[in-house]
A and B are shown apart, each in its own frame.
Chain A
Amino acid sequence: VTVRRGGVLVLSLLAPLVAGCATPAGRPDVVADLAPTEQPSDRTDEASLWLHADRLEEQLKTSPIVVRDPALQRYVASVVCRIAGPHCPRIRVYVVRRRGFYAAMAPNGMMEVGTGLLLRTANEAQLACVIGHEIGHYLRRHTMQRWADFQARVANFRSESGSLAAFSRDQEREADEVGFDLMVRSGYDPRQAVRAWERVLATEPRPPANMAPIAALATHPPTAERVNALREYADKAATTDEPRVGREDHVARLRPVRGWILDDEVRGRQFASTEALVRLLIEDGDGLGELHFFDGEIHRLRSAQGDLTRAIEDYRRALEFPDAPAATQRSLGLVALRTGDRPAAREALARYLERAPQAEDRELIAAQLAELDGP
């Protein structure tokens, strides 16, 4: 199972899977691709891995991180099916509420697609590129291969992490290749694979300067390397006359949920990378009122030198568009209050109460307004 965090893929669920397999019954030296209806034989390592993944899936089904939005679920599942072809019936996809560039695939066909990933992809073809990558892990039985590799290293009393990282990088490259092939064969525009990873490169968080890289996280090829490899694939790829991009559909499906997904990202307080993301989305040009509002929220919450002035500019820009959320007036009022502009604060907070008379914080905002009107 792979987990992406900030453009870095991590094998996170592998640890419990490995820990749970007590009685390995031999390992295959060569692992063939998974066939569409194939089930691992009983009493094999692979059956154990699937069983553990089944248990994780049972936990996931009741987890609060699963997004219970039928329309969004149908959309993502439709992209999965288009890419997976004959494997579609065996793959269960869960949209999960997670920040950052995140998707994951378990050996039993359980797939997770994070809301942060949906936000970062500009169109259906880019989403298909990432889903194709995850299906690549599944088809090539990468979890099984890693388990076999783990056993071999234990048998030889080797535990160096370098080989584990290198092996995983090879798998990631392979998954990129398989995913790209699936994407193109499904009729998607191959150039969007390059664009998808360029967007990751533009928005991935940088580790703090005082923090050493964590070896366990270094399991994936650098994003720039992936972009170059995918560009080579795209240049060579034979495509149909009108390859599918699917921008309008993608934007329309995400629009109803984009606000709370953006809020999740902003509240993660990785301000530099979130600011880069919002800038990218502003360049895409959809729903600018909402985007300028969240740009303002980044500056308000960070409150570094000059941020409050920039926040006010962002909120005022947001209010030029009809889709600016009601909370724009609230935030504008609170920042104006902090910068000592009482008339602007009074006006904005009053407008917020007019626009959102049922807001959960209306009583506290009204109290703030009363203090402004008081002596």
Chain B
Amino acid sequence: VTRRPRLPGVLVACALLAAGCGGLGLYTLVEPRVRSMGGAYTVQPRLAWSTASLRDWPETWTIDGVALERLRFFTGLAEGQPLLGLQPAGTADPRARFSTAMTRPELAELVAESLFGSRYPPRHVRPARFGGAPGFRFEVSYATSDGVRREALVAGAVIRARLHVIVYDGTALYHFEKYRDEVERILESITLTAVAPPAPPYRASPNSSATLS
């Protein structure tokens, strides 16, 4: 019996490995200075993080690796959008969707349900400023499918009719606590981006016959 070399599989594995180590440039350095998030607000980390940007995924930062700890920025969710991008197959789309009509407790509920499901209820759901905006905070203890315990800290708010959420999570054993203070400082550093004042509405001069076409 001859064995056919499984080259495509090997190549994929190498690519994934390289990507995980930053070899393909998926990860870039986040320097400890002011950084704009989706044009809506800025944050200022004090440590150097790495960030991975993949299409349809929130911007994700990590220091020791996403399996150990990660900081995710869900920026600018519009009316009717779900928090997570992937639709499960085979059923009617079960994802909860953001609505500007939601009350603040319902926003926290939406985020907790979308990220952690009903099995892991949020703890200490409380009001918290998100930059200057009235927002919410909560914590969740959960487990991955292979039983690894993780902790998460969530902050969010609606800014100019769009939902912004920051989620920090890491292994309950060591890594979540390792960068928690840094994450708290990042949350404290949130500064809403000023918007250029809208142009004055067109007002026809009493003597003008101009009309908008």
Residues in A lying within 8 Å of B, measured CB to CB: 5-6, 59, 62-65, 97, 205, 207-208, 211, 214, 217, 260, 263-264, 266-270, 301, 303, 330, 334, 337-338, 360-361, 363-365, 367-368
Contacts and interface: CB of A to CB of B under 8 A. Distances in A.
B87 to A, nearest CB: 11
Given A64-B143, A363-B126, A330 B105 contact: yes
B149 to A, nearest CB: 9
Interface stretch (B37-45, B71-79, B95-103, B205-213): B95-103
Given A205-B91, A303-B99, A64 B121 contact: no
27 contacts: A5-B90, A59-B146, A62-B147, A63-B146, A64-B142, A64-B143, A205-B92, A207-B90, A207-B91, A207-B92, A211-B90, A260-B118, A267-B117, A267-B118, A269-B92, A270-B91, A270-B94, A301-B96, A330-B105, A338-B102, A360-B123, A360-B138, A363-B125, A364-B105, A364-B126, A364-B136, A365-B105
B83 interface: no
B interface, over-half SS: loop
Contacts of A211: 90
Contact of A269 (B94, B119, B124, B126): B94
Given A207-B90, A361-B122, 11 more contacts: A268-B94, A269-B95, A330-B105, A360-B121, A360-B122, A360-B123, A364-B104, A364-B125, A364-B126, A364-B127, A368-B105
Contact of B103 (A6, A269, A337): A337
A196 to B, nearest CB: 23
| Top-6 shortest CB links A-B | A361-B125, A269-B94, A267-B118, A363-B126, A367-B127, A64-B143
B2 interface: no
Contact of B96 (A264, A269, A363): A269
A297 to B, nearest CB: 11
